[in-house]
């Protein structure tokens, strides 16, 4: 990803891992932050896209997810570590999602067993796993697809095809419905207040946002997809 005049490269892998910033013009290393001090330093593989979040005073932080560090925050200007919440015992693929005063992370397995989602209060220093966890949800939570946040609600689609909405601040479930004959690897996106979710089987489900479930459309794509629109 691009941050100011650098390209941020994440290299969370099983083994020696790091996050680095490269000069956008020359490719020179501006900073390199090792990732070997997490709860599981030898199980670090992750597939998330990092997220830049601005604190109340405008200071930027880079939010990442990995099994080793859980959800973690580093300074994108220097690579210095701010905080981490290593509260996940399975692989993390979905990217972090900022939802008001919380950041959402989820983990799971290819078998679909043991998936869960955790909301962590932003801020703090060092390991915040015992002080900043707001809630954990274990029913129909995503492993691969990244959730969405809009107007106080968190929306997500599980790999197995269950679409859900919760009150982001509390974790209270608003609705949860199974989408017929559908599995998901691609993440849903928001367009004009509607949720577009592409299924593995090659259909684009269009859902309404709000406190009640409503499927607006189910459009064939002509072929299967694992990609996010």
pLDDT digits (tens, 9 = 90+) for 39-56: 665 566 788 899 999 998
Cβ-Cβ contacts under 8 Å for 9 (sequence gap 6 or more): 19, 20, 21, 22
CA 148 to centroid of chain Cα atoms: 9
Give the pLDDT mean for 125-141.
96
pLDDT-derived band at 109 (thresholds 50, 70, 90) equals confident
pLDDT-derived band at 14 (thresholds 50, 70, 90) equals confident
Predicted local distance difference test score (pLDDT) of residue 140: 95
- In this model, does residue 171 exceed pLDDT 90? yes
Higher pLDDT, 40 or 211: 211
- In this model, does residue 105 exceed pLDDT 90? yes
Q: Calculate the average pLDDT of the chain.
A: 93
Predicted local distance difference test score (pLDDT) of residue 42: 59
Tokens coding 73: 């925050």
- In this model, does residue 199 exceed pLDDT 70? yes
Give the pLDDT mean for 13-37.
88
Tokens coding 82: 């701010």
- In this model, does residue 198 exceed pLDDT 80? yes
Is 67 in contact with 12 (CB distance < 8 Å)?
no
CA 200 to centroid of chain Cα atoms: 19
Give the pLDDT mean for 165-182.
97
Predicted local distance difference test score (pLDDT) of residue 118: 98
Q: pLDDT over 70 for what percent of the chain? A: 96
pLDDT-derived band at 112 (thresholds 50, 70, 90) equals confident
Task: Count the Cβ atoms, other than its own, within 10 Å of residue 94.
Answer: 25
């Amino acid at each position: 990803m691009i941050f100011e005049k650098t390209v941020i490269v994440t290299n969370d892998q099983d083994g020696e891992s790091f996050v680095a910033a490269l000069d956008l013009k020359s490719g020179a290393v501006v900073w390199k932050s090792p990732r070997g001090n997490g709860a599981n330093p030898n199980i670090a593989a992750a597939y998330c896209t990092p997220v830049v979040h601005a604190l109340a005073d405008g200071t930027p932080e880079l939010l990442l997810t990995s099994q080793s560090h859980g959800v973690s925050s580093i300074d994108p200007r220097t690579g210095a570590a701010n905080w981490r919440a290593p509260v996940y015992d399975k692989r993390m693929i979905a990217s972090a999602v900022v939802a008001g005063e919380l950041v959402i992370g989820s983990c799971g397995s290819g078998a679909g067993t043991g998936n869960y989602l955790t909301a962590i209060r932003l801020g703090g220093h060092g390991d915040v796993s015992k002080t900043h966890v707001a809630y954990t949800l274990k029913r129909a939570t995503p492993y691969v697809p990244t959730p969405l946040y809009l107007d106080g609600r968190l929306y997500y689609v599980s790999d197995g095809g269950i679409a859900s909405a919760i009150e982001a601040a509390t974790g209270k479930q608003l609705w949860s419905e199974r989408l017929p004959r559908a599995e998901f690897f691609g993440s849903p996106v928001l367009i004009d207040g509607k949720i577009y979710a592409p299924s593995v089987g090659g259909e684009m489900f269009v859902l309404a946002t709000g406190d009640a479930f409503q499927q607006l459309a189910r459009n064939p794509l002509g072929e299967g997809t694992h990609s996010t629109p």
